[in-house]
Amino acid sequence: MLVKHSSSTVLRRQQFLVRTLCGSRTHLPKLIRATMSSKSEAADAESVLRTVTPSLDPKRHKGQAAVIGGCREYTGAPYFAAISALKIGADLSHVFCTKDAAPVIKSYSPELIVHPVLEESYTISQFSEEEKRKVEDKVIGEVDKWMERFDCLVIGPGLGRDPFLLECVSKIMLLAKKSNVPFVVDGDGLFLVTNSIDLVKSYPLAVLTPNVNEYKRLVQKVLNCEVDEENAGDQLRSLAKQIGGVTILRKGKTDLISNGEIVKSVSIYGSPRRCGGQGDILSGGVAVFLSWAQQLKSDPERNFSPSESPAILGCIAASGLLRKAAALAFTKHKRSTLTSDIIECLGESLEDICPAS
Amino acid sequence: MLVKHSSSTVLRRQQFLVRTLCGSRTHLPKLIRATMSSKSEAADAESVLRTVTPSLDPKRHKGQAAVIGGCREYTGAPYFAAISALKIGADLSHVFCTKDAAPVIKSYSPELIVHPVLEESYTISQFSEEEKRKVEDKVIGEVDKWMERFDCLVIGPGLGRDPFLLECVSKIMLLAKKSNVPFVVDGDGLFLVTNSIDLVKSYPLAVLTPNVNEYKRLVQKVLNCEVDEENAGDQLRSLAKQIGGVTILRKGKTDLISNGEIVKSVSIYGSPRRCGGQGDILSGGVAVFLSWAQQLKSDPERNFSPSESPAILGCIAASGLLRKAAALAFTKHKRSTLTSDIIECLGESLEDICPAS
């Protein structure tokens, strides 16, 4: 059970980090041990999903997710990520976005808690440097006061590339790291991280979920070379290692996942229909499954080995579920399948793989 | 029949209060008398629900509910409470919220009447004390002119904790008491009441619906001790008594209800899936069923004893209905069940327990 008040939360995260970094005895279920191989291999995504998903017990907290994203231009992506987290099973799902984006994102669903706290440059263009710093402090403060409640952040869906906004988001990443809150970086968050790799470097609770282009830029920036499809697994492992062991989920026809040590692949199900927004469902899903895997890992009765990574397990589970839901939505909607249709299929797909009772 | 024009409404409420406080002869149906036990006992929630729900007669008014809540940050909670009141059977459902929240809440549904009248501190930060008092008077006036139409208020869903806004809401509670309008206090309304217990003390038409944390704070504040799970019923009774006989519905795996005299429990149905927002459905439900029970009590042909409490009956009926709807929604949506899914099941659940014809 996730304890909500501050000291316990911090303590829990510290205990978890100690276990992660220093190791502990292992009594792993076979399905999870399978992900520990040092070679690239196909993950049994459905089994991982069943293992990671907690039993339904009303007393058991399923966690709170928060999406940092949503600006004057983009409002769909943060909604997709946040509502997916909720549909998969989070107790509550928050969005931190700009003032312009908030009423729109709120109107998509009364289920989300939407905080209109981010600022873009155009709202502060007349401000002095000192006033700008005050605004920045206020933005950070508004997120900070909630941080202890969050079990995972998703940083980037619909974030945009406004310099002032990205500056604030850099600070939010530092806050999350200080509080040991895991975060998934996607979309424009990856633009930010690719240009400031230190923001995530060596943070074991960071997950990057690049698409083809975002991956290409990361490889160029960090490894100083081009994408090598022939040795995709090895290159991904090198990239993750070079960034200090963060976890990377490289989205593609086959999803590849590595934390610099092991490389796993997920290629079950999937849909031939591409639609923008699938990546947002994935990022919301990784956030929830990662926090559940972490919860499992912090359970003293289920000691996990240090080489067992909640981030890897979260990526495998989320990838498997998205692919199943996309396949199911495609059977229903064919060429007209939209992201919302896939989200509508998350519950049925989850129930099919991992029945609630 | 609820008479809508002012003098009759006030008269009706005075007559009701006289009966409540001074007693009258009893000819009670067995199902209702069952709630009069002085010991904690399981309520027959379905029977209470059938007894309290009025027959469908186009000439018969089903009452108007009003939710006081909804601010810049929260818009989902007041929507859930207000739409639930409507789905259960209120004729009309109002929301009084801030100017920022109103367009969003309106966008969730064209069924609600949304009044953008509340103000938060940031909109009046430049005002003098005198100007602030004028704004406060205006806010109170906007609510007051509607008060006589309301059969019950729900105070608190998505209210937030802005000091100026809470100051206005305190005055709205005084207004409601003056007009003998019952009110249900939930969410941030409980934060307000816990810090200013006199706002509800000894008002027999007040219902508090705390969750685990809100209950803990109430117990600490009022009884000066910690929550005693071993003697949960007795402690709840003491708490309600200490607050002068208000009714408290303590939400949990089993819902416990007391007015300082009797203690009832409801544990039928329910869902293992937690989702934020169920409490809002409950508060909207209590408002409607309470007003119906009050209507029944004010019917001279169905004399109720003074120990029979419309508030207790309203809590039992609302708890039973929410639990049934949550169970039904869970069979349909399993782990992905959201608050909106439960609201969609209110009608079917009500029909199942208490057929319209």
Band of pLDDT at residue A20, cut at 50, 70 and 90: very low
For chain B, what is the mean pLDDT?
89
* Structural domain boundaries enclosing B103: 46-353
Q: CB contact, 8 Å: A272 with chain B?
A: no
ipTM of the complex in this document: 0.85
In a domain, B33, yes or no: no
> Are A80 and A343 spatial neighbours (Cβ–Cβ below 8 Å)?
yes
Structural domains of chain B, count: 1
What mean pLDDT is predicted for residues A124-128?
91
Q: CB contact, 8 Å: A138 with chain B?
A: no
What mean pLDDT is predicted for residues A129-150?
96
What mean pLDDT is predicted for residues A31-38?
40
Q: Can you read off the two tokens belonging to residue A62? A: 């399923």
pLDDT above 80: residue B85: yes
Q: CB contact, 8 Å: A58 with chain B?
A: yes
Q: Can you read off the two tokens belonging to residue A287? A: 């956030």
Q: Considering only CA atoms, which of B310, B286, B264, B289 is closest in space to residue B34?
A: B264
CB A305: neighbour CB atoms within 10 A? 17
CB A31: neighbour CB atoms within 10 A? 17
Question: Does the CA dihedral B71-B77-B79-B81 come out positive or negative?
Answer: negative
> Are A119 and A31 spatial neighbours (Cβ–Cβ below 8 Å)?
no
DSSP string covering B17-80: HHHHHH-------HHHHGGG-SS-EE--HHHHHHHHSPP--TTS---EEEEE---SS--HHHHH
pLDDT value at position A29?
A: 44
CATH code where residue B254 lies: 3.40.1190.20
pLDDT value at position A235?
A: 97
pLDDT value at position A8?
A: 52
Of chain A, the percentage scoring pLDDT greater than 90 comes to 78
pLDDT above 60: residue A9: no
Q: CB contact, 8 Å: A50 with chain B?
A: no
Residues 6+ apart with CB under 8 A from A340: none
> Are B312 and B247 spatial neighbours (Cβ–Cβ below 8 Å)?
yes
pLDDT value at position B308?
A: 76
> Are B24 and B304 spatial neighbours (Cβ–Cβ below 8 Å)?
yes
CB A121: neighbour CB atoms within 10 A? 14
In a domain, A307, yes or no: yes
Q: pLDDT tens digits, residue range A294-322?
A: 998 888 777 676 667 999 999 999 999 99
CB A58: neighbour CB atoms within 10 A? 12
DSSP string covering A13-29: HHHHHHHHHH-------
pLDDT above 50: residue B124: yes
> Are B202 and B244 spatial neighbours (Cβ–Cβ below 8 Å)?
yes
Contact residues, A window 325-354, toward B, CB-based 8 Å cutoff: 346-347, 350-351, 354
* Partners of residue B115 on adjacent β-strands: B96
In a domain, A32, yes or no: no
Q: Considering only CA atoms, which of A354, A285, A353 is closest in space to residue A319?
A: A285
> Are A228 and A208 spatial neighbours (Cβ–Cβ below 8 Å)?
no
Q: CB contact, 8 Å: A1 with chain B?
A: no
What mean pLDDT is predicted for residues B237-245?
98
In a domain, A130, yes or no: yes
In a domain, A199, yes or no: yes
Band of pLDDT at residue B307, cut at 50, 70 and 90: low
B74, B108, B330 ranked by CB distance to A113: nearest: B74
Residues 6+ apart with CB under 8 A from A197: A221, A222, A243
Band of pLDDT at residue B13, cut at 50, 70 and 90: low
What mean pLDDT is predicted for residues A68-82?
97
In a domain, B14, yes or no: no
Contacts of B340 in chain A (CB under 8 A): 109-111
What mean pLDDT is predicted for residues A192-219?
97
What mean pLDDT is predicted for residues B126-150?
95
pLDDT above 60: residue B345: yes
- In this structure, what DSSP letter does residue B149 have? T
pLDDT above 50: residue B326: yes
Contacts of B275 in chain A (CB under 8 A): 86, 91, 111
In a domain, A208, yes or no: yes
pLDDT value at position A137?
A: 96
Residues 6+ apart with CB under 8 A from B83: B93, B108, B109, B111, B112, B284, B343
For chain A, what is the mean pLDDT?
89
* Cα–Cα separations (whole angstroms), residue B177 to B147, B181, B258, B273: 11, 6, 20, 37
Band of pLDDT at residue B28, cut at 50, 70 and 90: very low
Residues 6+ apart with CB under 8 A from B11: none
A107, A113, A346 ranked by CB distance to B107: nearest: A107
